[in-house]
Structure 1
Amino acid sequence: MGVYRIRVSTGASIFAGSKNQVQLWLVGEHGEAALGALLRPCRDQEQEFHVDVAEYLGSLLFVKLRKWHLLQDDAWFCNWISVQGPGDGGAEYRFPCYRWVQGHAVLSIPEGTGCTMVGDTQGLFRKHREEELEERRKLYRWGNWKAGLILNVAGASLSDLPADERFLENKKIDFEASLAVGLTDLAIKRSVNLLTNWDDLEDFNRLVWCGYGKLAERVQRSWKEDAFFGYQFLNGANPMLLRRSICLPARLVFPPGMEELQARLEEELQGGTLFEADFSLLDGIKANVISCSQQHLAAPLVMLKLQPDGQLLPMAIQLQLPRIGSAPPPLFVPTDPPMAWLLAKCWVRSSDFQLHELQSHLLRGHLMAEVFAVATMRSLPSVHPIFKLIIPHLRYTMEINLRARNGLVSDSGIFDQVVSSGGGGHLELLKRAGALLTYSSLCPPDDLAERGLLGIKSCFYAQDALRLWEILYRYVEGMVNLYYQTDAAVREDHELQSWCREITEVGLLGAQDRGFPSSLQSLAQACHFVTVCIFTCTGQHSSIHLGQLDWYSWIPNAPCTMRLPPPTTKDATVKTVVDSLPDISQSTLQMAITWQLGRRQPVMVPLGQHEEEYFSGSEPKAVLKKFREELAVLDREIEMRNESLDIPYEYLRPSLVENSVAI
């Protein structure tokens, strides 16, 4: 009983407001009050009302709302609704929404404190939880884009996606405008260079106009250097392949006359300074045919040594696996004729391009994030604290992935047009990589220990990934401990267990044999699992996404395809290298797409800086505040460290890490 103060916040996107009327109800523990049609929501505004309620409602549980229209259903994006009880000392209740309100249906928004099934001892939210998940499972259905790949959200076109998964207008306009700019740039460069002959590596300069940073310029100058080549395995666009050698690889067969090389490799092995990058996953993948011209793939092995000064230098390159009954493939070494050694390194860089874009970036970043996103929407109601914790890190993932399936890796898409693993090979590679994807590889402490990269002072990826993981884990642990006090509470939360099973058994097609849990038995296990999900969607994706423009703009450093077969002799010339690298058309398209997807996004949310407040109450806000403070400290420490580095490493700076897989 008494006067309630009600505030309603509408989103800032162009069409967030609505001309339709909105009706509101307050639902408390002891009753419900209809407030009538109070507002026509205005874009980017907070509207306030005072309503006299005759009924005694008790503590508020829900705000119900319905958008009424006569002729036109004008969607409304509601941020949140705040209700303050009667009197100056009345409690304030916050109801987070952050979704589109459409149609005539009544929408119930639970109060934002959050509770688990175990914590909902009186069953106040039980019916709402069940009805919300039933509706969500109709809206968010699993799809299988290609047989043998992990699952994705069902839908063939953007219009098939739920409205809440679509880009808001500012994101959509920026994405599509940048694509138009990239395609215009592509057309101009193609027309300018189409009738010219490419005879020298410097001819690739004709494609480099503007819009690239200092590191991209450095790549253009230094890409031939062995130390620069080795550095990329530590801190480049794909730091996920390098590992410390524990023995000489079985595939490494030494041709006659290579005894000295074998002895030097053995010496580095014994000293713990021998590393390897093995691209065997590419072996047997069918290469693309582009414009009736056969393209080529290799499956290199690179052996490298770590110098006392931190430089990682290549010692040998084997481009193909040995075959029974055939002579061993040649081993290329730094003392070979310069063009032969350079060509071998170009082959490695092209192979790294394939694995980076398909295994490290698409599979481990985008597709994994989509599994987390769909499973979350199907298994966790909006009142659940884990839903509130993870939902900001799933924003825009479904749309960006659907765009990729329809444009990058689709039939006749970018991969088919210019990438040597396109034309079907990329799908086989994704299947192979998916079958090898382990749970431990998504956890930096485990992954880096397994690959022997801990303690390497020149591996800034490893250092920053560990620090960021630790900060994320403390954040997750802080939130989880607010809602679960015992291991038993974790085990008894059927929604949480359903979410875990939905990820491992459904979305990942049964990944228990690769370490993914199908149930969560303790607080520590739950914290670890949630941290894996959030780190994959944030730090891990950024570490493999942000470097594309820097490292892939100079085509010889990251050839999307190779037009001649891998060399079997060491008599290469400059012409051999140029003729092996992508042609003008392929190079131009690679640069255009690299610019569009790799540029720093003007519409982005840095890690932890989301404006949406899904939690109400002081305790979760304090946990988030501490998280942001720790991120700021790490950001400053990375900035200070980078000031003394020849090549700054920025891909895990919290201010540059995006809060979700949104590009």
Structure 2
Amino acid sequence: MFGLFDKSQKIKGTVVLMPKNVLDVNELNAVKNGGVDGFVSGVFDTVTDVAGQVVDSATAIFSRNVSFKLISATSTDAKGNGKVGTESYLEKHIPTLPTLGNRRDAFNIHFEWDSSFGIPGAFYIRNFTYDEFFLVSVTLEDIPNHGSIHFVCNSWVYNFKNYKKDRIFFANNTYLPSATPAPLVKYRKEELEVLRGDGTGERKEWERIYDYDVYNDLGNPDSDKNLARPVLGGSSTYPYPRRVRTGRKATKKDPKSERPAGEIYMPRDEKFGHLKSSDFLTYGLKSTSQELLPSLENVFDSDFTWNEFDSFQEVRDLFEGGIKLPTGVLSDISPLPIFKEIFRSDGESVLQFPPPHVVKVNKSAWMTDDEFAREMIAGVNPNVIRCLQEFPPQSKLDPTLYGDQTSTITKEKLEINMGGVTVEKALSAKRLFILDYQDAFIPYLTRINKLPTAKAYATRTILFLKDDGTLKPLVIELSKPHPSGDNLGPVSKVVLPAIDGVDSTIWLLAKAHVIVNDSGYHQLMSHWLNTHAVMEPFAIATNRHLSVIHPIYKLIYPHYRDTININALARQNLINAGGTIEQSFLPGRYSMEMSSAVYKNWVFTDQSLPADLIKRGLAVEDPSAPHGLRLVIEDYPYAVDGLEIWDAIKTWVQDYVSLYYPTDVAVQKDTELQAWWKEAVEKGHADLKDKPWWPKMQTLQELIESCSTIIWIASALHAAVNFGQYPYGGFILNRPTLSRRFIPEPGTKEYDEMVKSPQTAYLRTITSKRQTIIDLTVIEILSRHASDEIYLGERDNPNWTSDSKALEAFKKFGSKLTEIEGKITARNNNSSMKNRCGPVELPYTLLIPSSKAGLTFRGIPNSISI
């Protein structure tokens, strides 16, 4: 009878989570000792509960040890905040949900509910167990007069005592701050306050605090004075983007620098762990620096002659048959799967890498001038070449410090190979191009050339656009500082193309010096600085100021996935003092200083592809042309494919953003948005905060352009400069990373050797065997896609928003990317487009959006995830 008037009932929920040990392959020894399969299977051994019933360990751990409290989005308590419901616990474990290799366990839960509570909009969660777990999602079903509600969580939840405030998660609704349901306003603000922290103390593993700091953890002066490095950021001398603050103690010898740590803090949800493959990438990099390299050092120290390649065939043996290693070199190296393709497992100590794509079809075409030129517009570093605007090429370096750096190339030397076209006509017709590394390297060359094995030039290469649309190198200028002082200007030599005799060897060596410049600039500036480093401040600011229910958070957050993690790993193993980048690339210990110098001239608005092409003189605005731009080199694979991707991104952003911001005033009045942008500029990029080019974030167009640029950098730009590293650079003859000799002068022993054996001269000039193995091991890892990768046009959860119009716009975006894939494939099959495949017959596929896992030479992940 009373039941007729009882408004209370229970609403069912499904909680999906993953126990720590499924994801957290953080104990490397567990992988070594038992293998990954044994390690994972051991996590789910059966145990006996208090009633004597046999259950799996997930049930034993989580059943009634995790509590939830719903928070109403429509009903308030006496203080005007969303009403908090009674505590409910996980119930009996239900069958496992199969996934891509990571075990997800689903639990039932029932909540007390009545009509006065209203519609849930958030929930509190408490973990009473010892170990953290990864909360994937919560779904509430059949809420009266409403239906289902999805909570996309994707977060690690530790024991509740580690938190000052209970963890809170919000439903997948989207609200501007001013449109937030009143009962949720307090909770929205409080969660952002938690994420910002108070800026003090050393961060702990379980914390989720996002804050800024300078790059003061690259050196290790307490270990060795030669490992001291300057602090990057916070000064006009060494400006730099900011990274996540860790709060570690200072080194003893440099109070401005932080002590290195075994594990670098990052907000817990930023750590790898969604799938084991990501952890393998982590441990592959760590094992390279901590296990592989020391083992190889022992080989080179004991047998110095093993350090040199003796022929081009020996280089090819790295992937054709392998190179026999001295006995014992592999005894301590990790058996992680990432190394299985590098080291044979049949008992032989043989080093063998996967075949690089650039020599899969043609083994010698890399040596041609056509391929040398083509890779400037279709290689791994296609965004440095620019149209030559003046002749002779000029420098922007301070002449009081570096003398007159004006090029010594003459018109006469250029015109030798221009088929009767004059320099004046070629300039006016936009047919001359330059790859110019003079200003980037000259300030550092005196110091670089004092390093033990470095002998390098700063290079300028001028190219001519032929009638068939391909580029032809005309001349290479090689410069080094004056021996009596940098201020006296460079000592330069000009090298012309040659096809036979000793001159052809000199030309080949000159091209190698150009590529060594290009390799260093690519790795440090085009790749690390212009994608990894500049993106981290935006990721920090987004988490500090945009609520998870903010529309712009939902738009751009997927494009930060794993970036903070991989950057921390890089500071620990790759770009740190003595790390693999310093060991295997030309600038050595000055690598990061050089990237700081380039950052001085970094401009956010120039990072959009159209702006970049216009700035480099490779495109002009033309409303009648595709994408509103007319390319100077029509068959420019990076630009042609990239503009299609850029337009797809911008259209998606415009469609999405316009759903929430009908006017410029709406942008101006969004308090979270304004705080986000202000801090990203003034704290995240503090050393450039006064530059006039920063968008003011006062108009809808500024918001669309800025978000499009962030997404472009994180996805397509990074893909273009990252995933071709091994396909092109895995063959070290094609992309050497070090130069150890200047071009020999007549009358020297080295010159005689060059005449007698051009291959030996080339091999003694470029990267040695030791550095080659270091370099290839790292770039082979960095060029791979993890099996849990999420690509442009995809999301990790179909319920990322409840907004049907946003979902429809996103579906349209995905369809457009599929269409672009087809167009790229068609262009690669068009034999009239000679730059698409080139002499090496390698189609340009780096900007094809989709990919499988592994070393694929294609695929645009959402984010800088490796």
Same fold (TM over 0.5): yes
Find out whether 1:266 has 2:266 as its counterpart.
Answer: no
Partner of 1:537: 714
Return the alpha-carbon distance in structure 2 between the equivalents of residues 292 and 243 of structure 1. 31
Deviation at residue 199 of structure 1 after TM alignment: 4.4
Displacement of 1:309 in angstroms is 1.4
- Per the alignment, residue 657 of structure 1 pairs with 860
**2:133 maps to 1:68:** no
Q: Which structure is larger by alpha-carbon Rg, 1 or 2?
A: 2
Equivalent position of 2:85 in the other structure: 33
Q: How many angstroms apart in 2 are the aligned matches of 1:322 and 1:247?
A: 23
Return closer, same or farther for 1:58/1:144 CA change in 2, 3 Å cut-off: same
Helix, strand or coil at the partner of 1:320: strand
The 1:181–1:300 alpha-carbon spacing in structure 2 relative to 1, beyond 3 Å, is: same
Tell me how far apart the structure 1 counterparts of residues 470 and 735 of structure 2 sit (CA, whole Å). Answer: 21
Confirm or deny that 1:630 pairs with 2:686.
no
Does residue 648 of structure 1 match 2:807? no
Q: 2: distance between equivalents of 1:188 and 1:134?
A: 48
Alpha-carbon distance change, 285 to 642 in structure 1, aligned in 2, over 3 angstroms: same
Matched with 1:343 is 509
Give distance in 2, aligned partners of 1:279 and 1:569.
27
- 1:152 alignment counterpart: 243
Do 1:298 and 1:566's aligned partners in 2 also have CA atoms closer than 8 Å?
no
2:615 pairs with 1:450: yes
Checking the alignment, whether the CA contact within 8 Å between 2:461 and 2:476 is kept in structure 1 is yes
Aligned-pair CA distance for 1:569: 7.3
Are the equivalent residues in 2 in contact too, given 1:23–1:39 (CA < 8 A)? no
Q: Please tell me whether the aligned partners of residues 648 and 813 of structure 2 are also in contact (alpha carbons under 8 angstroms).
A: yes
Q: Which residue does the alignment assign to 2:657?
A: 480
What is the aligned counterpart of 1:399 among 565, 588, 606?
565
1:429 corresponds in structure 2 to 594
1:309 matched residue in structure 2: 468
Range with greater deviation from structure 2 (435-444 or 535-544): 435-444
Task: String of CA shifts for 1:422-457, please: whole Å, max 9, x gaps.
Answer: 11x112211111101112321001111222323223
Query: How has the CA–CA distance of structure 1 residues 391 and 206 changed in structure 2, closer, same or farther, with 3 Å as cutoff?
Result: same
What's the offset of the Cα at 1:119?
A: 2.3
Moved more, 246-255 or 490-499: 246-255
Confirm whether residue 584 of structure 1 aligns to residue 641 of structure 2.
no
RMSD across aligned positions (CA): 3.0
Q: 1 CA distance for matches of 2:471 and 2:720?
A: 20
Amino acid at match of 1:312: L
SS in 1 for 2:435: strand
1:207 to 2:315 alignment: no
- Distance verdict in 2 for CA 1:107–1:312, change over 3 Å: same
Between 295-304 and 261-270, the greater mean CA deviation after superposition: 261-270
Aligned letter for 1:333?
A: L
Residue 505 (structure 1) shift: 1.5
Check conservation: 1:505, 1:518, Cα contact below 8 A.
no
1:94 is aligned to 2:94: no
Q: Distance in 2 between matches of 1:287 and 1:561?
A: 16
1:106-125 alignment, distance < 5 Å: 106-120=166-180, 123-125=182-184
Is the partner of 1:124 in helix, strand or coil?
helix
SS of the residue corresponding to residue 343 of structure 1 reads helix
Provide Cα deviations, 1:483-536, integer angstroms capped at 9, x if missing partner: 211110101112111111222121112435555536311111101111111111
Q: Is the 8 A contact 1:220 1:554 kept in 2?
A: no
CA–CA distance in 2 between the matches of 1:191 and 1:517? 52
Distance 1:259 1:427 in 2: 35
Match of 1:377 in 2: 543
Paired with 1:257 and 1:632, the residues of 2 have a C-alpha distance of 49
The verdict on how the C-alpha distance between 1:37 and 1:200 changes in structure 2, with shifts beyond 3 A counting, is: closer
Aligned residue among 674, 679, 684 for 1:502: 679
Equivalent residue number for residue 271 of structure 2: 166
Match of 1:492 among 669, 692, 707: 669
Q: Secondary structure at the match of 2:673?
A: helix
Q: Displacement of 1:180 after TM fit?
A: 8.0
Number of matched residues?
A: 657
1:253 aligns with 2:408: yes
The alpha-carbon deviation at position 220 of structure 1 amounts to 4.5
Contact 1:253 1:322 in 2 (8 A): no
Does the C-alpha gap of structure 1 residues 153 and 171 become closer, same or farther in structure 2, counting only changes over 3 Å? Answer: farther
Matched AA of 1:648: P
Residue 288 to residue 206, structure 1, CA distance change in 2 (3 Å): farther
Matched residue of 2:718: which SS? helix
Letter in 1 for 2:827: R
Structure 2 Cα separation of the partners of residues 167 and 398 of structure 1: 10
1:522 matched residue in structure 2? 699
* Structure-2 change in CA distance of 1:327 and 1:397 (3 Å): closer
Q: Matched residues in 2 for 1:600 and 1:375: separation?
A: 27
Once the two structures are TM-superposed, the CA of residue 342 in structure 1 deviates from its matched residue by: 0.6
The letter for the 1-side match of 2:784 is: R
Q: Which of these residues, 364, 367, 384, is aligned with residue 221 of structure 1?
A: 364
Q: Does 1:298 align with 2:501?
A: no
Counterpart for residue 234 of structure 1: 377
For residue 530 of structure 2, what is the aligned residue in structure 1? Answer: 364
Alpha-carbon distance between aligned partners in 2 of 1:382 and 1:189, rounded to the nearest angstrom: 48
In 2 relative to 1, CA 524–170 (structure 1 residues): closer, same or farther, beyond 3 Å?
same
TM-score, reference length from structure 1 = 0.91
Structure 1 residues 381 and 431, CA, compared in 2 at 3 Å: closer, same or farther? same
> CA–CA distance in 2 between the matches of 1:540 and 1:172?
21
1:595 aligned to 775, 780, 783, which one?
780
State the TM-score, normalized to the length of structure 2: 0.71
For the residue of structure 2 that corresponds to 1:615, the secondary structure is coil
> What amino acid maps onto 2:128 in structure 1?
W
Give, in whole Å, the separation in 1 of the partners of 2:734 and 2:109.
Answer: 61
Post-superposition offset of 1:595: 1.5
What's the CA shift for 1:413? 0.8
Is the CA contact (8 Å cut-off) linking 1:27 and 1:33 kept in structure 2? Answer: yes
100-109 or 39-48: which moved more?
A: 39-48
Q: Secondary structure at the match of 2:15?
A: strand
Aligned-pair CA distance for 1:159: 4.7
Q: Following TM superposition, by how much is the alpha carbon of 1:230 offset from its aligned partner in structure 2, in angstroms?
A: 0.3
Aligned-residue offset at 1:206: 3.4
> Residue 8 of structure 1 contacts residue 47 of structure 1 at CA under 8 Å; is this kept in 2?
yes
Specify every segment of 5 or more residues in structure 1 that has no aligned partner in the other structure, as ranges: none
Q: Does structure 1 residue 639 correspond to structure 2 residue 825?
A: yes
Query: In the aligned structure 2, how far is the partner of 1:76 from the partner of 1:359?
Result: 38
Cα offsets for 1:246-302 (capped at 9, x unmatched): 222132224697485598433321322111111021112157779972413322111
Cα distance in 1, alignment partners of residues 717 and 171 from structure 2: 33
Contact 2:132 2:156 in 1 (8 A): yes
Distance 1:218 1:340, change over 3 A: farther
Gaps of 5+ in 2: 1-6, 24-57, 76-82, 97-102, 198-208, 216-230, 233-237, 247-259, 320-351, 395-405, 620-630, 831-835, 851-858
CA distance in 1, matches of 2:154, 2:809: 21
CA 1:181 to 1:650, structure 2 compared with 1: closer, same or farther past 3 Å? farther
Contact 1:453 1:462 in 2 (8 A): no
Q: Which residue of 1 aligns with 2:228?
A: none
CA separation of 1:297/1:163 partners in 2, compared to 1, >3 Å: closer, same or farther? same
* Kept after mapping to 2: 8 A contact 1:442/1:532: yes
Q: Which amino acid aligns with 1:162?
A: P
What is the DSSP-based 3-state SS (H/G/I as helix, E as strand, rest coil) of the residue aligned with 1:601? coil
Q: 2: distance between equivalents of 1:569 and 1:437?
A: 42
Deviation at 1:55, TM superposition (A): 5.5
Whether contact under 8 Å (2:584, 2:738) holds in the other structure is yes
The separation in 1 between residues aligned to 2:437 and 2:515, in whole angstroms, is 11
